[in-house]
Chain A
Amino acid sequence: MRYEFHWSVLWSGQTGGWLLQGLLVTLAISGLAWVLAVALGVVSGALRTGPWRPLRAGAAAYVEFFRNVPLLVWMFFWYFGVPPLLPAVIRDWLFDHGAEFWAGMLALGVYHGARMSEVIRSGIQSIPRTQFEAAYAMGLTPGQVYRLVIVPIALRLIVPPATNESLNLLKNSSVALTISVAELTFQTRQIETYTARAIEALTAGTVIYLALCLGIAWIMGRVERRFAIPGLIARGGA
């Protein structure tokens, strides 16, 4: 098989800036969705460990319903299903202002919020009870217990799985191409369609995702090791 590479389609001509645009949209949609997911995850994760039964059940229902349905279905749901329910004024405004971006952002954020919630819940629940007891025994008030003991431990326990989940969110933003959000995967496909340079386009898209994910994982790995609690967090190999 002989294949002549024409890498220049990635940075010159009509398709020149497309990858960069795609990368920016991917970062924008992932960033906004990440903020939403963390907010939903913290609130519902905390409620699920709380004492109030109806709130606990409500948070559990949110988590179980959203994380057990494919993200793609949520994308279609928010993009095709929800706007017809809105008043005409809002709907028209939305479709003039990138409805697909906002639908994709909501789908990503709400779906990953449910998964983030599990990360946070299991992080809080995996703190040994003795930590609470020891803190109270030293005479700390409940506020101090949380501020000085529990939250610092919980944060360190949560960072590795939360990093993982954040990377999943970043990679899953590629699903937004199905509702024509012009993110990285979408632009990769566009370049391929316009120039018939599939290998170049796919290679470039793949390398960018890989660099983003490995880069973030590397940085977070360092953060994790820097703040590891000796003896409490058993880390294999590190």
Chain B
Amino acid sequence: MTQTLERATTPDDPQGPRPRIRSKLVPRRRALAPYLLILPALTALAVVLLWPIVQMVWMSLHDYGLRQLQGQEAEWNGFAHYTAVLTDARFWEIFRNTIGVCLAMVVVTMVLGTLVGILLNKLPNWASTILGLGLMLAWATPVISAAIVYRWLFDTRYGLFNTIMSGLPDWLVGSGWEEFNWFNSPSTLFPILIVTVVWQSFPFVAISVLAGLKSIPGELYEAARMDGAGAWKSFWNVTAPMLRPLFALLLILQVIWDFRIFTQLFILAGGVTNREVALLPVYIYQLGFASTPPNYGMGSAIAVIMTVLVLAITAYYLRVMIRQGETR
């Protein structure tokens, strides 16, 4: 600052307008600083995430396979991939399954998580701590380990679950559990997938709900009790409205996470080659990489559809976040 002032007042400067340029330069240099600070991160994001999004849309509109990967010109094919996908019965089956499985995961996770959160809040401290630690074990288990142990628990020949079921009386659970294969058809594999995912995700909801419950001032419940409200009424009139923003966020987070399930299905179904059991992310993989010949264009079209779907579902959450981001 002082330097600029000194220079600006130097009378024998050969160029007249120079001082004015300098005084302008100072704020400009300060304005450059934030751009320099975000530049490295922005570059990484642009190369790894933004450009592939553009590329994904571009490929979904072109014939893109192995030859194009080797450098041959890709041919524009209009919306052929999209018409093919949207008129394909198989796509709609997978689409329905994805929505159904995702919905089941989200609902079960939210209900179970909320109930356990309330339970944690009601238990005495020592019991709440023990249960909390137990929940953490499930939550912290790497996704792949979780998928593997469920695959083992439901193993056809030596799985614990089939052994227990065949040990139970037939009038209770029926028979035929000895060699029951859970992993071949969607109707038996998806329930296990749902259990696997719920097992890992309900602890997060439970702990968040506990944190939310603890933040509600006790006077509110006291006031409700004075007005003659029972447990049920005070839940709906005090707890639910206070925790509504939290529930909205948890719900959206669960939807995003459950929509992109890949690893668990990969392990449970034993790879991506099983055409019978697929959800959208696995279907993208099947069409793009695992089909012969690879059809990257077709896979990209499904990927675009999936991305649009996720963004549409999360639009509400985005709006909330953006509003928060602007006010800060």
Q: Report if A and B associate in a common complex.
A: no
User: Which residues of chain B have a CB within 8 Å of any CB of chain A?
Assistant: none
A interface residue numbers (CB < 8 A to B):
none
